[in-house]
Amino acid sequence: NAGVTQTPKFRILKIGQSMTLQCAQDMNHNYMYWYRQDPGMGLKLIYYSVGAGITDKGEVPNGYNVSRSTTEDFPLRLELAAPSQTSVYFCASSNRGSNTIYFGEGSWLTVV
């Protein structure tokens, strides 16, 4: 039961570097999301997608980009890493008409 799979699990980046967090789901869900969680805080929505080719900004999109070329994949791109992007990133997915979102295990990112 793969569900939502995120890679890498851990990553250390230097300021100004770029990287892509990968996310794949095998549940044929229409909707996919990227959240970040800072220490002691709730999850904040970065970007979401309601289907292949359609993406939209969430609450905290600055510094990130996404694409959704297939139903299964929803990568998150950090172009110029900043210390403020040190966080835990969660990818998630859900089905149209369902209120329940399923999360991946998270990606721990440190920018130094």
Partner 1 sequence: DQQVKQNSPSLSVQEGRISILNCDYTNSMFDYFLWYKKYPAEGPTFLISISSIKDKNEDGRFTVFLNKSAKHLSLHIVPSQPGDSAVYFCAAHKGGSEKLVFGKGTKLTVNP
Enumerate binding residues for partner 1 (CB under 8 A).
4, 31, 33, 35, 40-45, 48, 50, 58, 90, 92, 94, 99-106
Specify the residue, 62 or 100, whose C-beta has the smaller distance to partner 1: 100
Rounded to a whole number of angstroms, the minimum distance from the CB of residue 13 to partner 1 is: 20
Look at residues 34, 35, 74, 26 and name the one whose alpha carbon lies nearest to residue 51.
Answer: 74
Specify the residue, 44 or 77, whose C-beta has the smaller distance to partner 1: 44
Specify the residue, 17 or 102, whose C-beta has the smaller distance to partner 1: 102
* Residue 92: C-alpha distances to residues 5, 12, 14, 76 (Å): 9, 22, 26, 12
Rounded to a whole number of angstroms, the minimum distance from the CB of residue 102 to partner 1 is: 7
Rounded to a whole number of angstroms, the minimum distance from the CB of residue 80 to partner 1 is: 26
Q: Distance between CA 89 and CA 107 in Å, rounded?
A: 5
Specify the residue, 31 or 74, whose C-beta has the smaller distance to partner 1: 31
Rounded to a whole number of angstroms, the minimum distance from the CB of residue 4 to partner 1 is: 7
